[in-house]
Chain A
């Protein structure tokens, strides 16, 4: 280990650097969103992500160290602490779900059928699009499990011959994209019916999509929360079978 690397670990290796950087870029994103009058590319999460990556890349170049090494040793200790709180934030969705239990009781069959059949149709389209773009089998296998939460999608991706890191990237970008584009996409495709809107946001945007759905309506939020749980279980069962059927797994 070089002298620079030792210095970086001494001064930036504590969690507070990662926490401060995350706060800084997110608050900057919020400020930009406010003065940008809600322009969709200025969503705090999107700005925070791009700016954070850029700052880390720039600092790594300045110190003359590898970007991934710098990320792991300087940012990750603090980032992991914030990341851990996604656990209680995910279980928190039980509350908006319980509050609209009336909808769950009335529409449980529609919810279940829509998620299973909707996922099957989506898988065929994602497979076709990936093939058309020119991804190899490894790339396609990495794309298929992305409807599940990261912790489920990654091992499945590995099992069907994909690269778990690419699948994780897909899950993360899903959430960032949905958070930034949801309002616009809902208008573009006229997704005004709250049950379908919620299930779609929960499937495509995971917990972040659910947070967006709650802002739209309580029904939408509850449906997004139930979608996160059920789609993950459905992906667990359906995607390995689908990958075998399409001959992606060697």
Chain B
């Protein structure tokens, strides 16, 4: 009985962290081979291909979610820090800011808000259409429903 519990636990257990990192490295490597195949006029960068690739691998059950879950959660939690060098990269753009700086920054701030609000409202509009025109189910729960 005790052995049986142990095996079931082992089945749902997270993969060791090095294996999780290995899967990420493998996916990134394959993506970096695919990325140059796209023409320069239609660039698709490595991480975007990697995201789609890992998603497909999960969807077709080639890799289990427990094999990558822990490392993925860790990486996502780190993103704000990982973005610090990108922010500091703006040091190299100080010259551009001198020329049209204030106008550019105002335009960027407004654009950011516009993108967030317009996309969110457009989505609400389409979901409203599903509800009122097609009488569809629009309930979204925090837990996964197995419908």
Contacts and interface: CB of A to CB of B under 8 A. Distances in A.
B133 interface: no
A243 interface: no
A68 B94 contact: yes
Nearest to B35: A151
B33 to A, nearest CB: 14
Contacts of B24: 88, 91-92
A225 B87 contact: no
A114 B122 contact: yes
Contacts, number: 346
B145 A169 contact: no
A99 interface: yes
A9 interface: no
Main secondary structure of the interface of A (DSSP, over half): helix
B97 to A, nearest CB: 8
Contact of B96 (A87, A122, A169, A200): A169
A199 B123 contact: yes
Contact of A143 (B25, B95, B107): B107
A52 B119 contact: no
B119 A204 contact: yes
B145 A102 contact: yes
A149 B45 contact: yes
A139 B91 contact: no
B86 interface: yes
B34 interface: no
A87 B115 contact: no
A161 B140 CA distance: 43
Contacts of A227: 119
B17 interface: no
Given A114-B119, A122-B118, A217-B142, A48 B87 contact: yes
Contacts of B110: 126, 129
A85 B78 contact: yes
B77 to A, nearest CB: 8
Nearest to A201: B116
Nearest to B146: A102
A143 B71 CA distance: 35
B72 interface: yes
A45 B25 CA distance: 26
A106 B140 CA distance: 10
Interface string A192-234: 0111110111011101101100100111000001011100110
A119 interface: yes
B50 A87 contact: yes
A89 B104 CA distance: 29
A193 B120 contact: yes
A40 to B, nearest CB: 14
B114 A114 contact: no
B73 interface: yes
Interface of B: 24-25, 27-28, 31, 40-48, 50-55, 58-59, 65, 68-69, 71-73, 75-96, 100, 103-127, 130, 137, 140, 142, 144-147
